[in-house]
A and B are shown apart, each in its own frame.
Chain A
């Protein structure tokens, strides 16, 4: 029996963005019936590579072979025609449409009239075959995140995808839901599909992959069969050095309360109840981590505390003051710093200068203002100091914030928020998407502030980060605190069960 050509070959793929080489001569081979993990940190170039494979980006150099044939993939349409399917990290679903409408969109076999009627039975049929059960008539916005993921997989399968790319598929799932997904992937493998599984989580690679390719800074570090791999080697390949799994914490929390939440209720954007009687407290000098799958009320909690969303009932006390339903400005004046979840959308104004961004919420106080006037010189002086102190890489205070990289944007936000010596820091996903050095710097800054006596509320989807930084961990599920555990000696499996709503 002759060896069939590889299902898919990427050869010397190179792609540069202004200032960044995202992929540097990447070579990768995929076979049918294989789950191939693509492992790498944020910023390693995994998503760029997959966007090239799916026709979203065009490579600057290199070639793609599908079943041995050189192929040019100019658009997703080409990718689909070649049997490539994609489940992106941020789902591409039309939220207002039904599952069937989403699946029927652009589907060649759906026919011109009544596409939904033709597609619905096929959704049910495929759903049973692969264990992807979902109601074709439900609207997407009604579905849970893991159900939405199933819709994305169904979309690809219905288009005859032989190669399925999943981009960080477990980042939005509980460990238990992730296990369900792995069962689906094994089922697909048995049916002869090839699966590319993008992740930065080592244990998942060990659990589900047949082979793993490690990317670092845009380059392939190596490809190894899983039988010959272990977590520590993979970690070293991924990061480029030995990894410290625990960070040392110092300082003991004081008895003084920084934040206290009592029976807090609030609604989400769609008017549904998102917080259902949440109660907990954070002391000064303590880091309280919030663990939970995204969309279980963490965002709403942060917004209610920081004055961006009204509470329907309950109390929020920060630093001894009642700040329930006070304005964002009042909360800030009480001494609360806020590191927002979406740093580009909310944390900075890209069209304004670095200096002006550094005083975004302090411009109205001396020394930056005198009466109705703004003292631009005071702003510039302050900015130069902050740029030096926080090592923000920028041409200067007058440069537009547009040119800052992700890590520098976050340094700017931290400089601004910490400069007011806050007694409480609300940090939402502070290291999401940052590279190793920026992540370390920001984690160190948070730890230091905690040690210096500020209370820190840390919300993160990254359970490792929560475990590494927190003193205590509160687990959220469906708008409620399932339980609060000490981080020291916390059992990850138990936290995982709590994230799925099972009280410990």
Chain B
């Protein structure tokens, strides 16, 4: 019985970074900007959170730093995507490359070090994630910010014509998304694992993006998706006693493809992607 409870707790725990990152991506995409750099922002967050926690002995400070670097990385993407109107897919991929590379280079001297003070209560971030999901849902649907955010992603010209600063809204949403991804990464290195190894996010960032899609860009649905995949990852660790690890590790990624295939088909009529997703907005151009 105790075993079952601890299994569920660990599954929920691994679902939390997915939830945080997915919530951030949902906000970015709702504003009209795709950010494929989640993996890069997460790994930067993981690295810096560990480095700061190791140096100061304060893991909470590490998470703040993780949010900061995630937001800074996202700011770079926002500048590319919004101001320079660069291809958002390519910019996101560049961010992922840069994040993975930079964290490996700068993080080398932290590799394998112990963390004396890890976050004691893993579940606190899980609860925080749940509360955040509800808060973000409320903001999205019942506040004037939410209306502005969704309008920027659906019909930026309409928002602009009413005096909404579309660029600003998009910048804020993308940077917020980056900060969320940073915290998600920091959670891995100062709480869940607690240690730093290069490439430790191992594709979680990409799964977070997929969750945003098949949650139909809804914060509350993202909760279910994140914990489902958290459970799947945890299951793949648990079953390694009996089965070779590699097919199990493959499972979440194969499941993502399956989930996308299943939900896209049904979701198309119900609620599709924000209509201006991935399209830069320029006043006076249609």
Contacts and interface: CB of A to CB of B under 8 A. Distances in A.
- Within 8 Å by CB, do A and B touch in the complex? yes
Contact of A112 (B144, B155, B162, B164): B144
A114 B163 contact: no
Nearest to A55: B283
* Most A-side CB within 10 Å, residue of B151, B157, B269: B151
A94 B162 contact: no
A6 interface: no
Contacts of B157: 92
Given A97-B150, A112-B144, A105 B284 contact: no
Contact residue range for chain B?
Answer: 20 to 34
Looking at chain A's contact residues, is the secondary structure mostly helix, strand, loop, or mixed?
loop
B50 to A, nearest CB: 37
Interface string B148-175: 1011001101111111110000000000
Nearest to B286: A90
B269 A271 contact: yes
B162 A113 contact: no
B142 interface: yes
A88 interface: yes
A257 interface: no
B46 to A, nearest CB: 34
B144 A93 contact: no
Interface string A67-81: 000000001110010
A102 B159 CA distance: 9
A96 B275 contact: yes
A448 to B, nearest CB: 33
B224 interface: no
Given A104-B144, A111-B144, A155 B162 contact: yes
Contacts, number: 81
A106 B284 contact: no
Nearest to B283: A56
Interface in A32-77: 51, 54, 56-57, 75-77
B163 A80 contact: yes
Contacts of A93: 155, 158
Nearest to A98: B147
A92 B142 contact: no
B164 A106 contact: yes
Contact of B163 (A51, A92, A106, A112): A106
A488 interface: no
Given A51-B284, A56-B284, A95-B154, A77 B163 contact: yes
B56 interface: no
Contacts of B155: 92-95
B163 A115 contact: no
Contacts of A90: 286
Contact of A104 (B147, B154, B158, B161): B147
* Most B-side CB within 10 Å, residue of A54, A75, A90: A75
Given A86-B161, A106-B162, A97 B151 contact: yes
A113 B143 contact: yes
Contacts of B164: 105-106
22 contacts: A56-B284, A57-B284, A75-B160, A75-B163, A75-B283, A77-B163, A86-B161, A94-B158, A95-B154, A97-B150, A101-B151, A105-B144, A105-B147, A105-B164, A106-B163, A106-B164, A110-B144, A111-B144, A112-B143, A112-B144, A114-B143, A115-B147
